[in-house]
Amino acid sequence: MANQTAKPGATSTKNVVLAIAILSSFLTPFTSSSVNIALPSIAAKLSLSAISLNWVATSYLLAAAAFLVPMGRLADIRGRKSIFQIGIVIDAVSSILCALAPSGGWLIAFRILQGIGGSMIFGTSVAILTSVVSPQERGKAMGFTVAAVYTGLSAGPLIGGFITQHWSWQGIFYLNALLGIIISIIVFTQLKGEWAGAKGEHFDIAGSILYALAMIVLIYAFSVLPALWGLGLIV
């Protein structure tokens, strides 16, 4: 019978990757759901109209959706850990910038940047996990990450509402930045190795741009319904 004992180094890497995947799977949905609960306070502080306020939430989702597939492909070519590290840094920095935003326009711009960072995180964390965890343990590991996603969605309104009421809406972004910094420290100090399933292959720049534009047009079209030209954009 083959020896089933895992190597200490492999077990350590697996546990680190699982912890990172759980934290990052919590981070991205928590960011989205917690900010939504603070939108009335943001509108009052920055004097935003209803349309501008809608874009504070939509811009993050739009950027994340538009860049998710291209960033996932780039990670396969350049290295999943590298793209994940960059995404975490972008998310943390953009969260601080969102908290310091002097106007609604700047807040929306920083939310777009935050969405790009989120796409780099969400498009690589699970991919790294599946690269490290054996097929026999993959179901359990994926269960942990899915549970983290729904925990983030559920905890976001509760924690975001508490912070907004007892401190300010900026505190939500500072908390998000703190979580990003913690994940960054774990990645830089504990996660060894790199994973690139398509190293050396071609990155389809034209296709990625077309995909991103299509997602932007589609999501924007849904946001302006029931206007007739919004239906035309969807078509």
User: Cα separation of 29 and 157, whole Å?
Assistant: 11
Q: What tens digit of pLDDT does each residue of 173-186 get?
A: 999 999 999 999 98
**When comparing pLDDT for 102 and 233, which is higher?**
102
**When comparing pLDDT for 83 and 52, which is higher?**
83
Q: What is the pTM of this model?
A: 0.84
Q: What tens digit of pLDDT does each residue of 16-58 get?
A: 888 888 998 898 888 888 998 899 999 999 988 888 888 898 8
Q: What tens digit of pLDDT does each residue of 103-134 get?
A: 999 999 999 999 999 999 988 888 888 888 88
